[in-house]
Amino acid sequence: MKKIGVVLFGLVFAASNAFGQAETTTTTTTTTTESSNSATQPAGDNGYNPLSLRPIHVSDIMWKKTLIRAIDLREKQNKPLFSKNKEITRLLIDAVTNGDLTIYANDSLDRKITIDEFNENIKIPVEGGELTAEEKEIALANGDSSVLQSGGPSFYFPTDLYQLEIKEDLIFDKQRSRLYYDVLALTMYVPADHPQNVKGIQQTIASFSYKELVEKVFKDNPKAVWFNVQNDQQHKNLADAFDLRLFSSYIIKVSNPYDAYLVDIYGGDQLKGIMASQWAAMELMEFEHHLWEF
């Protein structure tokens, strides 16, 4: 009991030093400060983040960092998210097609896009561009009937879209004295290295609210499966798999005043970016460890 008391005293003392300004202001001021420091997830009128699946009241958040994690679905550890005909990207595309999901332009979840814009984003670009209606008429007038045989546009298959990003808040809840990973958004990309991506850069297709994904697409859906390669009796729902952190990812961004990615902060070199990602993960792990030291 004595040890627990010392630990709690240490945490309170540290919180008083680090957050002295906020602790001496009124509740309204604290909420405003939290909103301004949280670039895209301000607390609602009731003090809870409306984008959070399991929100923590702003007055209980002693520390928070926003992280962006990249997921490569080709990795061995991520194969359960990408099993045949149950790929998570197939699930997302089907949900959009069925009108079950709100489609956003980016992970800030502040601007919606239409299904036509979504379809345009997953369309495979034609090198040199597609012919306009006028250009097709001219070609036909010149006897070139091949324009009639070109067919409609081609789209990327779900298996082509193996790059995802997760946006989440890492929160220390002083009420429960533990860290929580609060996933907020999931973003799907056209990979930069895909052979049919003529632009050669990673392109955003759409972002989705993780809360909406769980409530409308993952929950009680037999197709939302994390495939257990060791035991067919223990496949899990995708919502449970994300809760249990059953995926491999690497940190590419930690909230900072420049809104910069780690690879840009540390020189733009790919190797330095990988090292910076590992360093960021170690720092966060060490931070959590030292919360309980004195």
Read off the pLDDT of residues 136-184 as tens digits, 9 standing for 90 and up.
566 566 655 544 455 667 999 999 999 999 999 999 999 998 999 999 9
Given this model, what pLDDT does residue 132 score? 61
pLDDT at 204 over 70: yes
In the chain, which ranges are continuous DSSP H helix? Answer: 2-18, 20-23, 27-37, 88-97, 115-121, 133-141, 210-213, 238-243, 262-265, 270-290
| 223 and 187 belong to one structural domain | yes
Structural domain count, the chain? 2
Q: Which domain holds residue 198?
A: 49-124+159-255
pLDDT tens-digit profile of 66-83? 999 999 999 999 999 999
Contact 60, 34 (CB under 8 A): no
Flag whether 133 is in a domain. no
Distance separating alpha carbons of residues 250 and 68, to the nearest angstrom: 8
Flag whether 21 is in a domain. yes
- 71 CB-side CA count, 13 A: 24
Q: What are phi and psi of 253, to 5 degrees?
A: -155, 135
- Residue 120 pLDDT grade (very low, low, confident, very high; cuts 50, 70, 90): very high
| 10 and 107 belong to one structural domain | no
| 10 and 109 belong to one structural domain | no
Order across the sheet with 178-190: list the strands.
203-209, 178-190, 163-173, 61-72, 250-254
Given this model, what pLDDT does residue 294 score? 52
Helix (H, G, I), strand (E, B) or coil at 281: helix
| 26 and 78 belong to one structural domain | no
